[in-house]
Amino acid sequence: MEMKKSIVVVSLIVPLLFLVPLFNGGIGTAIAARNQDASESWGYVEVRPKAHMFWWYYRSPYRVEDPNKPWPIILWLQGGPGASGVGIGNFQEVGPLDTNLKPRNSTWLRKADLLFVDNPVGTGYSFVEDNKLFVKTDVEAATDLTTLLIEIFNRNQSLQQSPLYIVAESYGGKYAVTLALSALKAIESGKLKLKLGGVALGDSWISPEDFVFSWGPLLKDVSRIDGNGLQKSNSVALKIKQQISAGQYEAATNSWRDLENIISDNSNSVDFYNFMLDSGMDPLSLTASELSQGISMKRYSRYLQSSKFTPGSDVDLDSLMNGAVKKKLKIIPQNVQWGGQSDSVFNAMYGDFMKPRIDEVDELLAKGVNVTVYNGQLDLICATKGTEAWVEKLKWEGLKTFLKMERSPIYCKGDKSTKAFTKSYKNLRFYWILGAGHFVPVDQPCVALDMVASITQSPAVSK
Helix (H) or strand (E) segment spanning residue 163:
strand 163-169
Helix (H) or strand (E) segment spanning residue 132:
none
DSSP letters, 233-248, are: HHHHHHHHHHHHHTT-
Catalytic site residue from 60, 170, 255, 289: 170
Q: Which residues does residue 166 pair with via DSSP β-bridges, in sequence order?
A: 75, 199
Q: What's the CA angle centered on 337, arms 155 and 315, to 5 degrees?
A: 105
Strand, helix or coil at 47?
strand
HEC profile for 293-351?
CCCCHHHHHHHHHCCCECCCCCCEHHHHHHHHHHHHHCCCCCCCCCCCCHHHHHHHCCC
Catalytic site residue from 271, 282, 379, 450: 379
Examine the residue annotation and report whether 379 is marked as an active-site residue of this protein.
Answer: yes
Q: Which residues does residue 23 pair with via DSSP β-bridges, in sequence order?
A: 27
Whole-number Å distance between alpha carbons of 58 and 71: 13
φ, ψ for residue 330 (rounded to 5)? Answer: 70, -25
Examine the residue annotation and report whether 52 is marked as an active-site residue of this protein.
Answer: no
Please say whether the beta carbons of 330 and 148 come within 8 A.
no
- Which is it for strands 428-433 and 415-425: parallel, antiparallel or unpaired? antiparallel
In eight-state DSSP terms, residue 136 is: -
In eight-state DSSP terms, residue 282 is: S
Whole-number Å distance between alpha carbons of 396 and 101: 44
Catalytic site residue from 118, 126, 438, 458: 438
Active-site residue numbers? Answer: 170, 379, 438
